[in-house]
Structure 1
Amino acid sequence: MSRLLNALFKGIEVLISIALAVMIILVFANVILRFIFDTGFAWSEEVARISFIYLVYLGSIEAMRDNRHLLIDSVLIRLPSIAQKLLYTLIQGLIIWLMMALTTGSYGLMLQNYHNKWVATGLPVWVVYLSGFIMGISIILLASGNIFKLWVLKRTVKDLITPQDESAATLE
């Protein structure tokens, strides 16, 4: 199961890299075309915008997995162990609740825009809202996994809030 998850997240990293490359290439090419040749690709702005949206949303999934999201832990680490666990569970519960709102909202917008198309590319508009749906489901699963690790696997809150890269570096 761990190999499957690692492969899945490696795929997300590849998609992020592709989105960034597409965005940079299209924006740079469009700037060159406009300044030198007084023309440009009309569709490149839409593709770059979609690439940026997916870059941010997929990057948010990666940040959640690696514990690189914004967390001010100065109060959390000073609490007694049981209070840390309860507060961390509350935080993860709030994340789940917010991501459920994002997921249901994104799904509703996907349905609402199912027949709409982008003007220049002709791509379906619902593809943009799919990114919110994917991010919401993914972060719900990751936050639920964090609660599972805390209460069932008996991991400490400090282990769960430490960015994964740092904890791996200290073991070597």
Structure 2
Amino acid sequence: MAACLAAMVVLVFSNVVMRYLFGTGIAEGEELARLCFVWLIFIGATLAVREHGHIGVDMVVRRMSPAVRRVCLLVNHALVLWALWMLGEGSWTMTMIGLDSVLPVTGISTAVFGAAGVFLAVTMSLILIADVWAVLSGRAGTLVDVSASAGHGE
């Protein structure tokens, strides 16, 4: 993620400076920055899932017993795994289609964009399957905890 972010900053900043000072820019910079942006977002989303860092609304969950929380978590993960299956299938199709086409300036295969979706679907699925296993085996004490949030006076 850091490499993608650094590359984006250098590419975009260089292009802005060159266009302002010299009236021209690095044509490849725009395509490479877009590619870095896509991969940065997909890697970041995967990392957030691994760290359980996505935003959650716990208004209802706070009132549930631990057993009901576990059931809801399992249903939630099953639905997310289904969505990831569909995302992965669509991304795989995009990757295969992209093998036959290239970006106009850099010549990089457009399959790299679809591959980001495949990466996301596979890695998030593995993380969620590990979470489900932890819940089913009883090792997921903190996985379903509800933390105090702003606005509750705690």
TM-score by length of 2: 0.91
Preserved contact between residue 70 and residue 144 of structure 2 (Cα < 8 Å): no
Report the Cα distance in structure 1 between the residues aligned to 2:139 and 2:58, rounded to whole angstroms: 19
Shift of 1:151: 1.2
Preserved contact between residue 67 and residue 161 of structure 1 (Cα < 8 Å): no
| Aligned residues: CA RMSD | 1.4
Preserved contact between residue 65 and residue 142 of structure 1 (Cα < 8 Å): yes
Report the Cα distance in structure 1 between the residues aligned to 2:135 and 2:59, rounded to whole angstroms: 19
Matched residue, 1:167: none
| Distance change >3 Å, CA 128–CA 162, structure 1 → 2 | farther
Runs of 4+ in structure 1 deviating by more than 3 angstroms, as ranges, are none
Question: Residue deviations 1:94-142, cap 9 Å, x none?
Answer: 1111111110000011111211000010000001110000000011111
* Structure with higher helix content: 1
* Paired AA for residue 18 in structure 2: L
Matched residue, 1:68: 53
TM-score by length of 1: 0.81
Shift of 1:161: 4.4
Matched residue, 2:131: 146
Q: Of 30, 34, 41, which residue of structure 2 is paired with 1:49?
A: 34
Report the Cα distance in structure 2 between the residues aligned to 1:80 and 1:145, rounded to whole angstroms: 23
* Paired AA for residue 105 in structure 1: G
Q: 5 Å matches for 1:58-137? A: 58-137=43-122
Shift of 1:160: 0.7
Question: Residue deviations 1:72-109, cap 9 Å, x none?
Answer: 22212320122111101011111111111110000011
Report the Cα distance in structure 2 between the residues aligned to 1:18 and 1:31, rounded to whole angstroms: 20
Preserved contact between residue 11 and residue 33 of structure 2 (Cα < 8 Å): yes
Structure 1 residue ranges without an equivalent (≥5): 1-15, 164-172
Matched residue, 1:18: 3
For residue 99 of structure 2, give the secondary structure of its aligned residue in structure 1: coil
